[in-house]
Structure 1
């Protein structure tokens, strides 16, 4: 085929793309002027012919999906161009935060967009009976606790589809029982990102400072990279990598300081025409440069999460998390199958978390959030077996 023939054959495709782009632009302009379901549907249908390739295009399409109640698709569109961290775990709240930022960017023409929140509540903590908790005298302990959380995030749009984002998140828990420690945790993130049509790459720093009781603190800080790719309206792929240092500056936990390197990969899939989403993630890596008697360890694991929205005021979800840690030093331990005898072994842990939640927006920007969390640490060494169950009820205010 000659060069001229190839050029002529390319014209119909180019013409269709041009017409599709014009239709998408027209639908977006109409939707911005009057965001009703009919115009949102027009924008979604136009995008099927010519998917958006700009930041504003993805934000407009995300808002259209939001109006139509297709929250999983809306989240995928928003996350192709927006970066926020420490969001609520439920799909409905996440999409509402992204939609607010999209409105700030598109209607108010703001380069700086963001969100804020504050929440508080009461809960019940119980240490369950295991061979480890019974041996240490802590089995079946029950405590009432009060918790509070506040924070927010921002995204600053730069030319050429670059952006800077930052978040702060502070959490505090106070126990009625004087023998229980009162926990506090401050998490932060600062990153730069760039959108590339259907994908987004972010690189930055994040960390946390945690109070661990008895005057002990833990500091985490690391460098990370995170990549997202929008396969189609219903599917998103993610890749991540992080290098971080966990440091206990002083005290009885100092030998737990370590460096970690890990990678992860995930898949997000829309369910029930956008009313729900399924997220599957796998991760693995190495803990090293540690003073722990059990030595360095390799780890791998997986997470599965289901999120559903009943309507624009009510949502629920559940998740399962698992991790396998294998240490590299032989050491004297008490084995669970030989309670009265010490044995030489290499420690191996299986860690599990299972959670469920309900979210109800009883008035605009106010939500009621009951949550349940079960934790199980299973080890071939008695002292590292642990289990707890927590239930709490929080009220959250979004800004």
Structure 2
């Protein structure tokens, strides 16, 4: 008699989404308690970025509320210039986000490689990102960590905002006071601790634009105290050769975004959610077809090199050589009694709910449908995935409540012809 053939169980694509629905490809990012992989949906063949977060490490680092907050905010968002969530689910060990795959790398990568970008390129990015920022503010969401590391390019060169780990809802009636984000990009009103709302994102956009144009940030300091003082007090200055790199209109736009008076700051002189109108009327964007831009019909000026992998290849090497518990699809324990779990693990089980963008409508948890997150949300460090340079005071991060967790940027920028299969499922 012949041996019995072990055939894999059929995949139920009509049921709840799970890791069996995906083929695992390259490992392209690493954080304190999670990683990022490129994955392919087995039924649709679509490529995505899979961000997965180890539950036990998440609990240990007191980041449960952050993960649930990010999960809920991403369910609200669907925009052309945002890295959108497509699926969310969990197994017994990990929580999973399946996100839009960006093949062009993040702007930190390109800035370090090129030193600076041309005015036309930066103006294009500012225009695209301003539509995303205005969209978020319309939904009463502040990103709070806008920086080149969190701006990803698709394969054509369009800019997308990512990493909503410390994003929050805001209210016009109650100012936020928590200090969170990357200090070099924080607005003066954040560091002053007197309260802030959506105005801070426009300041951060100005810092990003300045850095992309001139290869340096507008406010600097050797220590956190020096940096805080510079952001709060120093006069905005441009490099001596600024007029050779940027037009007068562009410099005026930077001055408008980096205005300390929030009532005069560019993007803040219109009602929340309408800041895009403020930029549309600025002379720097004269002649720009904003409708075509929002439909992604304009050709980006800078296009990433698709022959190169725009990420640190050591992530994949570490996965192959050092990972003692490599990621693979596992069935959930059907006999698990969540009442025996710790409060934090039970919170993840109950509040990190599944999402499938093809089967479910996007919804808001705020304000009418807001479910309370049991644990007070802590601040996060904002290191992104495996920073490629040593941390400096300008890159240092403020923390709320003395606790520090780590964020993740879904930055799997991998050319299609470089996708290497590292795991397989039938």
Fold similarity call, TM over 0.5? no
Higher strand share: 1
Under a length normalisation based on structure 2, what TM-score does the superposition of the two structures give?
0.21
* Greater relative contact order (CA < 8 Å, ≥ 6 in sequence): 2
Higher helix share: 2
Which of these two proteins has the greater Rg computed from alpha carbons?
A: 1
